[in-house]
Amino acid sequence: MGTSVAASASCHQGIVPGYLLARLATSGRYAHAAQAARQTLIAGRPTYHSTLELSIDGTGALVAEVTDAPTRTIFDAQNTERLPGVMVRGEDDPPVSDATVNEAFDGLGATFALLLDAFERNSLDDAGAALNATVHYGIDYDNAFWDGSRMVFGDGDGEVFSGFTRSVTVIGHELGHGVIQSASGLVYQGQSGALNESIADVLGVLTEQHLKGQTADDASWLVGEGIFTEAVQGRALRDMLNPGTAYDDDELGRDPQPAHMRDYVDTTEDNGGVHINSGIPNRAFALAARAVGGHAWEGAGLAWYRALTSGLPSDAGFTAFAERTLTAASDIGVSVEQAVRDAWIAVGVIEDARVREPR
């Protein structure tokens, strides 16, 4: 039995939301991209099949090779859907002629550097896990994803999507799923799934900001900037500071992300709106980071990271996570705690005790 576009869209978990691909699949204006979107939806992505594990040696001791530098390997799927593909660049190899390979290699390194420098985390699992990526996955494949053990990049269709390795936020986002997988395993459904997507977005933008040395005020707060072609009326896939404004295209429609709990979307699509409702915690983070000022990974970013790694339940919702960030922020500083509190209040996740009605 064939796989329907609608069914595939509902379970797709790559950087490009299934609802956007489903809209593109019906486009009359972008004929080639519509066909590519249909192929991408039908192909889906390999099953989320593995977890990050440490090993046990012959004596029964726990073994983890811990290093302070990344171990990166890039593979080429050669436009097939077979993983991992052919190895084309290792950690000690010089740049190659394929720009996509080099962009993937550099993006993995930028993410590793953020995790180590900002959070003293040694790779995705905090135990020096190797960073692997496969490029040129499929034909006109309109997505990039983390499959449980590696990054996988499609080349895009060239009409709407121009390729995914050129965006450091995309790479940081997808590797962020590896961090989340290791740290808390947030269930990819409903609010916990939206948190999963949001925290991955946070790690994506922090990777770019750390690479560029940007402050919270200097940053664009865009996720996936540069992956749309010039034909699309849009700046990026998501705008963390202003959810719902990243794109507004005649064919693709308008960015559906809400910025406040009053606009929370109850849906069975998109795994319960994981890519949609992530706009709410996304805005909370951007607001908190800008209120604190300076480098976002030093204030709000540290609070978010500590909340994630504090034994966060896998089914945590927005309120539970907000409370964890407040606890973490209180250990960082009074100004950080107040900025985080104000941000969650601004998006309607927690109440402002200062304006409660008297009983």
Catalytic residues: 174, 275
Q: What's the distance, CA 340 to chain centroid?
A: 21
> What CA–CA distance (Å, rounded) separates 240 from 205?
9
Instruction: Tell me the C-alpha distance between 43 and 46, whole Å.
Output: 9
HEC profile of the chain? CCCCHHHHHHHCCCCCCHHHHHHHHCCCCCHHHHHHHHHHHHHCCCCCCCCCCCEECCCCCEECCCCCCCCEEEEECCCCCCCCCEEEECCCCCCCCCHHHHHHHHHHHHHHHHHHHHHCCCCCCCCCCCEEEEECCCCCCCCEEECCCCEEECCCCCCCECCCCCCHHHHHHHHHHHHHHHHCCCCCCHHHHHHHHHHHHHHHHHHHHHHHCCCCCCCCCEECCCCECCCCCECCCEECCCCCCCEEECCCEECCCCCCHHHCCCCCCHHHHCCCCCHHHHHHHHHHHHHHCCCHHHCHHHHHHHHHCCCCCCCCCHHHHHHHHHHHHHHHCHHHHHHHHHHHHHCCCCCCHHHCCCC
Taking the C-alpha atoms of residue 37 and residue 342, their distance in angstroms, rounded to an integer, is 40
